[in-house]
Each structure stands twice: as C-alpha cells, then as structure tokens.
Structure 1
Amino acid sequence: MSVISFADLIIFEMANNHSGELQHGLRIINKMAAVSKDFPFRFAVKFQYRDLDSFIHPEHQQNSQLKYIRRFQDTRLSEKDFLTLKEAAQAQGFLTVCTAFDENSVLKIQEHGYDFLKVASCSFTDWPLLEKAVQCPLPMILSTAGASLDDIDRVVTFMQHRDKQFCLMHCVGRYPTKDAELCLDQIDFFQERYPGLPIGFSTHENPDAIYPGMLALAKGAQVLERHVGVADENHSLNAYSSTPQQIRVWLEALRQAKLLCGNCRDKRRDISAAETAELRGLQRGVFLRHDLPANTILSDDDFFFAMPNQPGQLLANDLSKYLLLKSKRELKAEEALMREDVEMRNTRSQVLEIVKKLCALLKKSGLHIQNKLDLELSHHFGLEHFHQFGCSIITVVNREYCKKIIMLLPGQKNPEHAHQRKEESFHLIYGDLCLSLDGKKQQCQPGDIVLVERGVKHDFSSENGAILEEISTRHYKNDSYYSDQRIGKTDSRKTYLTFYSDWLEGELR
C-alpha cells in the first residue's frame, strides 16, 4: 500500500456556497485558482455529497421550516453539475475532496474518482456511514468537532485496525468560532496521543483572522481547511466563509509562518558556515598549564581554557570524557594546543557498545534497576582490553553502609586487589562466578554469599556473565590496592556515566 501524503494540504471548502448554481461554482473555483497559484502549498477543492432523496425523510422533503432541509434543497446540484465542477477544479490543478453524508454518497465519491473522502464532524460517530466509508479505497479526512475523547479513541482505533490512511482534524463546531473557543492546543494533544497520525485543522473563525492558521501550521497541522466563496449582488457569504481577497491575505500569512518555522520539524536544521564561524570566535581555546614531554596522556589537570582561539586549535567544546589525547611532541606551558600536536581517540562508540551489552545482561537476569544511578566502567588496562579485564559497577547507595551492583560480561575478570577501609560481602544474583580469596578459588552459584574482610586480596571472573550485589561498609575512593602495580598508575582507567532505566528498552542517550 502506497503512503499518501497529507503534508502542506490546503482545502478550499465550497460547501453550499455555489448556491445550487453551476456557473457560480465554476466562478469560485476559478477565483481560488487565481489567488492560490503562487503559494508553496498543495491545494484542493472540497464538495459535499448528499443523496437528498434518501438523506431527507420522505415526509420532510419539502419542509421549508427546517433551515438545513431548506438550505440543502435550495442549493441542490445534479450529479452532472458536480462532475463538471470536479473536472473544472482538476483542470486548474486542484486535488479534489468530497464529504459523504450517507452511504450512497460514499459510492458516488469513489465512482467519480475523488482524491480524498471526508467525514464531517456531525458524522464522526455515524457508525453505519463509517463502516461503508472505510471500505472505500480513498484516503480519508475526519473532523472531530463535538466528539468526546472516548469517541475519538474509538474511531482512530477503528481506522488503524483496518490499515486506513487518514488525517484527524481538530475542529470546533461554532460558526464563526470565537478566538477563545479555538483551542489550538488540541493539535498538540492529538499529536502526542496519536503518534505518527497526520493532524489538521478545519477552521470556522472570522474570515479576516490570520493568526489561527499561522499558529496551527506552526504547531504541526498538516492539513488546513477553510470555507470559501464569492460574494456579489446575487450571492452573500456567511460569517465564516472567506472571499478570494481574504484567502490571499490568509495564504500570505501561512507562507510567512512556513518560512519562520523553517520546514525542519523532523530533523535538525542546517547550520551555516557563517553561523559556525561566528560562534567559534566566542569559544575558548585549549592551552597548556605546564610543560609536557612527548607521548604523554593528557588529563584535565594539564589544560586551561581562554580566548581568543587560533585556527586549528582544540577548543573546550571539543573535549569530553570520551576523548583521549596523547601528545606527539614536547609541549610548552601556555601554548595553544593544536590538533596536529596530539593523537585523538574518541571512545564514545566503544562505551555505548559496552552499555548495550550490560543492558542485555540485565534484561536476561530480570533484575530491575532504579533510574539515574551512577554507573562506573572500570577498564584497568584501557577500554581496548575491557572485555578481558574490568567490570561495571552501579552504585545504589553509599553512606555508612554501601550497596553496589557489579556486572561481569562473559569472559571478563576483575584483577586482584584488596581494601584497607572497607569490608564487603558478595551476593551472586545471576550467572556464574569464580571468586579467589588470597589465592584460594571457589566457584559460586546464584544465591551464594561470600564475606571479604579488610586486607584480603580478591579477584573474580565469569565465564558466561554474572551480576552480584556488593554489600559493604562505606566505600572510599582510592581504597582499592591492586597487586598489579601498573593498574594504580594507569590514567583514565574509569569511565563514569549515569544509568537510565529506559536504556533497558533500547533508548540509549
């Protein structure tokens, strides 16, 4: 099934403004074509079909006391006249839309080859009509004036379950609609409640009003519908229909709104070279605090930031916890740190790949983790060796007592070390664990609890992955003493993150 685009569609609703006269209907079409031809939108003319012989009860066919029956009978057009109007609209380059008020009209709209089928607000919950309309292959536009939220939910679900392509129109059934009744925030509400569903705005405000249309477009309305007509000595317009002159002013306002919005709702806007250059002039450059020999791994203590910066210089904006820098040559205090003077390696992609594997392990274990806890990746010999040596630690609480969640990926080992101030117990929650205490190995099973006293050297590893609780006295920084002296001297051996629980659903940030 091909996807129909509703984007940038402006519908000119003729309704009964043709006054039942073919020539006047043709005049409206020609006038609308003339005023709309230079604007960056797609345009459609909309008609209304009622099978009046069945739509109006036989006993009321000539009841002129009821205003709607009188209006419909007085503005009746033949099928031939409607086809003439439709063909005239298409000849002017318009798309065509038609509202069906009864089941027979649905069949006629399909037979006549319209582009879109419309369901009016008064028919929004006319289920016999909806059942017929949904069988029509045309994409649909549905107005929601007067409908309850339950009704809208039901109709949206009804359409979606039948794979129907449709646009949902915010609409207020007051003619004309006062500003305080427009409730344009409903456009936002519909977009949030029905993600991915095209939302539009069917307008009945004062014909001179331009702001409602501008705001609706800015809020993301893809389809805008407005009643149109032509007034002369023989034809008057109601209080919510726009003349060609009013439509031109309205379209100018919509074009300005489109320009101001920038057509970048679904992507980041383009950043010009001029904007980038302007901002760079305000950014701080990276300078050296002290002399450094070649082949030095740089840390935050080696930098200070100041302006002006120089072309080719590293900026404060370039630095992050993921960027590793190594000097290529001897560097002098207070000189600008140039890109060409350092080797740079960005580890963000490596870190995200590790996080994905940790999330997979957590999901497999069934363990639930609170949102926004501190996550530490310990990579004792660098990230490139993390899957051999290291572990990942989530700190749940660290007061006079401490609880951490320690995760080992398959094949990973946490090197031998001891604590002088902290006593801890390990509780294996998931997986397999080989734990060594002062060189004595033991194989742990889920549910096992092992005490590690102060000063006891310990290491642990897992063949298939493991999750364990560490329950201990307060944790102190720099209270881990490793048997391999290289570890204590390794710079940047930890990466600190915030753990977000929605990562478990694949929402990495």
Structure 2
Amino acid sequence: MKQTKSIFDQLYIFEMANSHQGSVEHGIDIIHAMSKIARKHNVKGAVKLQYRNLDTFVHPDYKQRKDVNHIPRFMSTRLGFDEFTQLVNAVREEGMVTMSTPFDEDGVEWCMDQGIDIIKIASCSALDWPLLAEAAKTNKPLIISTGGKTLSDIDKIYNFFTHKGCEFAFLHCVAEYPAPAEHLQLDFIDRLKRRYPTVPIGYSGHEDPDDNSVAMMAVAKGAKILERHVGLPTDKITLNAYSMNPEQAEKWVQAAENARLMCTMKKEDDKYISQEEIDSLNSLMRGVYINKAIKKGQEINREDVFFAMPCHEKQMNSGEFYDGMIASKDYAVNEEVHEKKKITEISLVRSVIHDAKGMLYEAGIYLGDSFEVELSHHYGMQHFRQTGAIIISIINREYCKKLLIVLPGQKHPMHAHKVKEETFQLLYGDLDVVLEGREITMKPGDIQTVLRGEKHSFTSTHGAIFEEVSTTHVKSDSYYMDEKISKLDPIERKTILRNW
C-alpha cells in the first residue's frame, strides 16, 4: 500500500456539512473565514463538503416527510452539482485542500468530476460496501471515520482498502452530537496506531467547541489529522452545540499547534459504543428496498433492489446486501427488505482470518510472503471460536517453526505428539497451558517445552500469539484425548489456506 504522508500529516479539516445553510454565498463566507485561520497559523487546512444526490438518496415516499431524522434538513439545505463546484473552486482559490464526504455513488462521481483531493467516508457509511467499492475505484486518498465501529469492523475496513491498494487514514470518532467527555476514549488512538502501524490515525471531534484540551490530548496521542464542524453565525443563523465559529476554530488550531510543539509523537480496553451513537448512525444508513415485485422463493439480486434512507429497525441495510438471497415473502415495489444476513463457512473463515491478522498487526509481527495457514477446527468451523487454533507454518525442514494464534476465549484440546518435541514462546497476549495436569500461566517472553508423549492443551482469555519451535512436523502426529476428535480424518478438522 502506497503512503503519501504529505496529504495527511498535520491536516486540519474544517467540516462545513450543512453549515452552508443551502446558500453558496454563505458557504463561500465560511471558506474565507477558515482560510484566514489556516494562513495565519501556516497550517494545512481542508474544507470538507457533503454530497448526496437527494433525487435518489432519499426514498420517494419520504422526501416530504417532516418526522424522519435528517431528511427535512437535507432537503431544505439542498445544493446541486454546479453549486457545490463553486464551493470547491473557492476552496482551491484559497490554497486549501478540497475534500468531500459522499454518501452515495453519485456523490463519489461528483468528487471525481470536481477533482476533489481527498474523499472522506463517514462513520455511518463505513460498512456500506457498495459505497466503499466505488470509493476504492477512485484511487483518491481516503479518510475513514470509525465512530460506532468495533475493532472487528475496523479490521474488515482495513483489509478491504488494503487489498484494493488504497491510500487511506482512519479517524477515531465518537458519533454523538455533542459527544460527552466520558465517552471520548482518546486511548483508542493508541490502539489504532499499534494495530495499523502503516495507517495515519487522526481524530474527529464533536465535543464542546470551547474545550480545546481534547485536541491537545489527541495530538499528544499521535493524531495526524484533526477534524471539527465549523460554521459562521449571523443574525439569522445560530450554530449547533458541536460546531465552532471562526474565533473558536482559531483557538482550536492554536491549541493543537501548541500541543505539537510540546509533544513528541510516540490498559487496552474494548471500545465502548453507546446506544445513542448506534442510533445516531443507524438514522443515516441506507436501507435495502425492492424496485420490482418479487415473489416468495424468488432470488433477489442487485438489479432487483435500490439503497435509500431511511433504514428501519430489523431492515437489511446496504452493507448487508448480497446477491442471490431467497425471498422469504412476497415483496411489492418500494417495500423494505427483511431477510437474514448470509452466514457461510467462507464468511466464518474470513471473519477469523481478519481477527487473526488484526492481532498480528497490533503485535507488530510480520510474516513475509512464504507461509501456510491452517485452521484447526476440531468440532467444526461453526465452533472454531470456542475450540481450535490458527497455525502458521513458517519453516518445516530438519527443524520447524510455526506461529500459533489463539483467539480470545479459544481453547486447543488436550493432545500429545509421539514424534516431535516442541517449545513455545509467548510473543503477545496471555496463554494458559495445561501440561501433564500442571497449570502454567505464561506471559510474553515466557518459554515452555513440551516433550514427546506429554499431554497438553492451551487456552487464552484475551488472545495470544506464540512461536512454536520443534523438530520436523509430521502429519498425523497429533493424538487427541477426545475420541470424537481422534476418529476424525485430519481433512475433516483442518482448513488449509495458501494465501490470505
């Protein structure tokens, strides 16, 4: 993956959103105000717009509704392509970076037609795979906000854009408006940096506009990019509780620059996602709707559906859609789709592989290009997260080196080897080994040798990666104490991957 540090490093994003109030003139006034701040402090500034083709983005039955979140605001502040182009040109004339968040495929096309410098993916769209696929095709630098996304979600996004060869950055974001201090979790910036060391990490803030301590702490955590909503109050326009006026925006930039001067960029908990944040993002997601009559039992394919706001509770969203699903009922035109998400053995394998790769990223362990991956699933792939291990064979000559990945809560059952002797060294996480009835708790760096014939098992609470060095690995040299496993052909309890 190519990295262009100059586009992301020390970038200040002034998020205009609907602060233009549906007026090109007012939007240009905001751009002028932000450009003065960028020049005064000699910083790289970007003004970010939001693109939606409201003719198709909002379901036709909801365009005039006043009781659905966001839609009345979107409709009342509507601008067309030509009007947005005027704003983009104003940003360029001020010497700032042009940037937009497209919420649909037409928005991506607008970005390309206007030559936008950076495309931003909003938190609510970060799992909208049809939209992400279009953004990935552009070859533009991408910034993805991660509000409301678990580590597993972010791993999927990382792998998607990495496989596409995209240049991208992540923004830590709490999608509450305004975001309370107790939910900001700035330590998560540290975790993102460790887990994705080649990806620039930034921070998108929605806290009190007068609280610049948050921006300073984000910089201290190593945030390369800072983003805030900005606007320009007038006699008729009042800003919301999370947007900055020009005076506040200047103090924000000054505080962050002070933090950069003071700092040298150098208890991991699961990320907390509030119900308020989930509700906020769900209200912006696109649902799946039928565009022609479908009978029960008929296949539903991409040409049979369209994606539009709103997405109702229990409705399939655009990121969950897949070709070939079977209709569980008759569907009428414009009706919302309620079908179950597709869970296959391939999706299970992909899920655990993404988790394993995420652990390797966070541990800073690099495999190179020559290795073989084995998923050892003793009771079937559907039970893999409970019982099994991921075994990566690096070398198997007169000596053998493997890396074993144990997912959180996973256990590898009791077994022994007759031919090989092996030694474990824990590289990352926690590992509990039972060896001939003795319980051994290992911490990173600890070494444990298992002699031929010794019965052993292992498990991890939070996940582990350990190195196994042994004599040559011989197939069928694992003898399990559980008869259900021992009766299985090795092919039945192993999945081999040549490339992940």
Shorter chain as denominator, the TM-score bin is: 0.5 to 0.7
| Residues 352-393 of structure 1, C-alpha deviations (whole Å, 9 max, x = no match) | xxxxxxxxxxx9866988889xxxxxxxxxxxxxxxxxxxxx
Residue 69 (structure 1) aligned with residue 104 (structure 2): no
* Matches of 2:109 and 2:4, distance apart in 1: 21
Match of 2:81 among 79, 82, 88: 79
More relative contact order in 1 or in 2 (CA 8 Å, sep 6+)? 2
* Matches of 1:13 and 1:240, distance apart in 2: 11
Match of 1:143 among 142, 145, 165: 145
Aligned to 1:152: 154
Residue 89 (structure 1) aligned with residue 91 (structure 2): yes
Residue 79 of structure 1: CA displacement? Answer: 1.3
In the superposition, the TM-score normalised over structure 2's length comes to 0.53
| Residues 24-45 of structure 1, C-alpha deviations (whole Å, 9 max, x = no match) | 1011011111122122431100
* Matches of 2:137 and 2:213, distance apart in 1: 37
* Matches of 1:184 and 1:370, distance apart in 2: 35
* Contact map agreement 2:2 2:166 (CA 8 A) in 1: no
Structure 2, unaligned runs of 5 or more: 267-396, 402-421, 427-446, 448-469, 472-500
| Residues 92-119 of structure 1, C-alpha deviations (whole Å, 9 max, x = no match) | 1110110010011111111110001111
Task: Label 1:371 to 1:149 Cα distance change in 2 as closer, same or farther (>3 A).
Answer: closer
* Matches of 1:163 and 1:137, distance apart in 2: 8
Q: Percent identity?
A: 41
Aligned to 1:483: none
* Matches of 2:261 and 2:249, distance apart in 1: 18
Question: What secondary structure, in the 3-state scheme, does the structure 2 residue paired with 1:168 have?
Answer: strand
Mean alpha-carbon deviation: is it higher for 192-201 or for 11-20?
Answer: 192-201
> 1:151-170 counterparts in 2 under 5 A?
151-170=153-172
Match of 1:35 among 31, 34, 37: 37
Q: How many pairs align?
A: 280
* Matches of 1:183 and 1:236, distance apart in 2: 29
* Matches of 1:364 and 1:247, distance apart in 2: 64
Question: What secondary structure, in the 3-state scheme, does the structure 2 residue paired with 1:37 have?
Answer: helix
Bigger radius of gyration? 1
CA RMSD of aligned residues (A): 2.6
| Residues 59-80 of structure 1, C-alpha deviations (whole Å, 9 max, x = no match) | 1111122241100011101211
Residue 50 of structure 1: CA displacement? Answer: 0.2
> 1:274-353 counterparts in 2 under 5 A?
none
AA paired with 1:216? A
Aligned to 2:135: 133
Aligned to 1:10: 12
* Contact map agreement 2:142 2:168 (CA 8 A) in 1: yes
Residue 192 of structure 1: CA displacement? Answer: 1.0
Question: What secondary structure, in the 3-state scheme, does the structure 2 residue paired with 1:215 have?
Answer: helix
Question: What secondary structure, in the 3-state scheme, does the structure 1 residue paired with 2:12 have?
Answer: strand
* Matches of 2:42 and 2:183, distance apart in 1: 29
In the superposition, the TM-score normalised over structure 1's length comes to 0.52
AA paired with 1:57? H
Residue 250 (structure 1) aligned with residue 274 (structure 2): no
* Contact map agreement 1:40 1:255 (CA 8 A) in 2: no
* Matches of 2:195 and 2:246, distance apart in 1: 36
* Matches of 1:36 and 1:60, distance apart in 2: 40
Residue 236 of structure 1: CA displacement? Answer: 1.0
| Residues 270-297 of structure 1, C-alpha deviations (whole Å, 9 max, x = no match) | xxxxxxxxxxxxxxxxxxxxxxxxxxxx
AA paired with 2:205? T
Question: What secondary structure, in the 3-state scheme, does the structure 1 residue paired with 2:18 have?
Answer: coil
Task: Label 1:364 to 1:97 Cα distance change in 2 as closer, same or farther (>3 A).
Answer: farther
Structure 1, unaligned runs of 5 or more: 266-362, 373-395, 397-428, 431-509
Aligned to 2:203: 201
Residue 123 (structure 1) aligned with residue 155 (structure 2): no
* Contact map agreement 2:81 2:110 (CA 8 A) in 1: no
| Residues 457-500 of structure 1, C-alpha deviations (whole Å, 9 max, x = no match) | xxxxxxxxxxxxxxxxxxxxxxxxxxxxxxxxxxxxxxxxxxxx
Aligned to 1:241: 243
Mean alpha-carbon deviation: is it higher for 58-67 or for 187-196?
Answer: 58-67
Aligned to 2:486: none
Aligned to 2:190: 188
